């Protein structure tokens, strides 16, 4: 994991996260830790910004880390038989990916950055050591597991049912909600197709139609804005 310079880094320690002032601390693994435990954790946690298509970890890997999303979005990609890959869920700000590593199991899916992401990488050995001294951390881990299950169920019900138009509207609304109503990424049509379960050609046609109807429009740097109120009428 390359050490880039995120906004939360101490000027005198390149790559060191400032967990005590993290905007998502209350919703992630370290929410229950004391200041002293946080200070200890800083020695092992790495933080960095990653561009779209960067692979945080690969399916089947055993690197021994969990990853906390501070901003952006990561897609979980499952490689099946015959070389066919499928996007099985998305993870957003405040969520943890790679939890299976805590059970010493290989990663079930590959984690690939979908929208530019600020990510903290936490060694599994650190999580286990802290959990021995702070039992509340075990509860927080189970809570994050439930978040992952909820994400799977949400993906099935919201993004894989209804018309292609309704699925695309749901996807854009999710990105809009997680961005706070700001710009959202102009996703590759292959990614849209993989998430909502349509062909790439259908995804291209739907996006072209949404642009024509002014449901989405382009901003700078491959970013989009959308008419959330109009999109909600389609779902």
Give me the domains of the chain, ranges plus CATH numbers. 19-150 (2.60.120.10), 160-232 (1.10.10.10)
CA dist., res. 11 & res. 46, Å (int): 15
Nearest partner of 48 among 99, 128, 122, 131, judged by Cα: 122
- Residues 106 and 139 sit within 8 Å (Cβ to Cβ): no
Give the phi and the psi of residue 216 in degrees, each rounded to 5: -140, 155
pLDDT band at 77 (very low <50, low <70, confident <90, very high): very high
Q: Report phi then psi at 130, rounded to 5.
A: -70, -35
Model confidence band, residue 208 (pLDDT cutoffs 50, 70, 90): very high
- The CA-CA-CA angle for residues 125, 20, 66, to 5°, reads 30
Mean pLDDT of 156-163: 76
What average pLDDT does this structure show over 170-176? 91
pLDDT in tens, 20-72: 556 555 556 667 777 777 777 667 888 889 999 999 999 999 999 999 888 88
Q: What is the residue-averaged pLDDT of the chain?
A: 82
Find the length of the chain. Answer: 235
- Residue 212 burial by CB count (10 A; 0-12/13-18/19+): exposed, middle or buried? exposed
| Residue-level pLDDT at 44 | 80
Note the pLDDT of residue 24: 52
Q: Alpha-carbon distance 66 to 75, whole Å? A: 15
Looking at residues 14-23, what average pLDDT do you find?
Answer: 58
Q: Specify the pLDDT at position 11.
A: 47
In percent, the amount of the chain with pLDDT more than 70 equals 80
Which pLDDT belongs to residue 4? Answer: 43
Q: Residue 123 and residue 131: Cα distance in Å, rounded?
A: 13
**19 pLDDT higher than 70:** no
C-alpha to C-alpha distance for 235 and 230, rounded to whole angstroms: 10
Instruction: Tell me what pLDDT residue 23 has.
Output: 56
- Identify the DSSP state of 101: G
Which of 69-73, 110-114, 140-144 is most confident?
110-114
- Which whole number is the average pLDDT over 152-156? 61
More confident residue, 219 or 40: 219
Does 46 or 106 have the greater pLDDT score?
106
> For residues 96 and 10, which has the higher predicted lDDT (pLDDT)?
96
∠ CA 114-31-98, nearest 5°, is 40
Least confident of 93-107, 133-147, 203-217: 133-147
pLDDT of residue 96: 87
Dist CA 14 CA 186 (whole Å): 31
Of all residues in the chain, the percent with pLDDT exceeding 90 is 37
């Amino acid at each position: 994991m390359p050490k880039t310079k995120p906004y939360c880094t101490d000027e005198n320690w390149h790559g060191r996260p400032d967990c005590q002032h993290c905007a998502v601390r209350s919703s992630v693994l370290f929410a229950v830790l004391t200041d002293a435990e946080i200070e200890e954790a800083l020695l092992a946690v790495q933080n960095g910004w990653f561009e779209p298509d960067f692979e945080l970890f690969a399916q089947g890997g055993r690197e021994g880390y969990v990853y906390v999303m501070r901003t952006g979005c990561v897609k979980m990609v499952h490689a099946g038989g015959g070389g066919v890959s499928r996007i099985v869920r998305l993870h957003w700000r405040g969520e943890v990916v790679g939890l299976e590593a805590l059970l010493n199991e290989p990663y079930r899916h590959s984690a690939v950055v979908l929208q530019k992401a600020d990510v903290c990488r936490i060694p599994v050995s650190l999580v286990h050591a802290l959990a021995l001294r702070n039992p509340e951390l075990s509860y927080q881990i189970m809570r994050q597991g439930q978040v992952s299950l909820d994400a799977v169920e949400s993906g099935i019900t919201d993004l894989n049912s209804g018309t292609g138009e309704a699925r695309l509207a749901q996807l854009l609304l999710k990105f809009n909600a997680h961005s706070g109503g700001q710009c959202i990424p102009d996703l590759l049509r292959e990614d849209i197709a993989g998430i909502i379960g349509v062909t790439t050609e259908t995804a291209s046609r739907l996006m072209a139609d949404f642009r024509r109807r002014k449901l989405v429009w382009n901003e700078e740097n491959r970013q989009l804005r959308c008419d959330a109120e109009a999109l909600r009428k389609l779902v």
